[in-house]
Amino acid sequence: MQQLNGSDVVAHLDSLPDTQPGVDYTVLASADDTTASTAPGAFLEAGPGATVTNALIQDVCPAAPSPFTHDHMRDHPIVHGLVPEALAERPVVCAPAELG
């Protein structure tokens, strides 16, 4: 019950900044994810001194399977290709090889 929208816990968490200064963040989300937060709710807002890249799978890889589910976010080669790019601070773009 604490995680329901409108709960005191969620209201408190929403009042806190999403980010910390000096940290680069990348969020990968799917418009089709019905298990976790869908965009834009999954996206972070950069606070002072932080950098955020919010990427919607459907925008980054228009040829991605549809629907692109929560399980895809864990298991699909598209995500497996995007994560190392984000960790290396390179642009989050879809490579043709990731589409299979």
pLDDT the model gives residue 72: 93
pLDDT the model gives residue 14: 84
Question: Is residue 18 pLDDT above 90, yes or no?
Answer: yes
63: nearest Cα among 99, 30, 9: 99
* pLDDT average, residue stretch 55-62: 94
Question: Is residue 98 pLDDT above 60, yes or no?
Answer: no
Are 63 and 9 in contact, with CB atoms under 8 Å apart?
no
DSSP structure string for 46-90: --TT-EEEEEEHHHH-TTS-SS--HHHHHH-HHHHHHHHHHHTT-
Instruction: Please give the structure tokens belonging to residue 32.
Output: 């089709």
Q: pTM for the full model?
A: 0.81
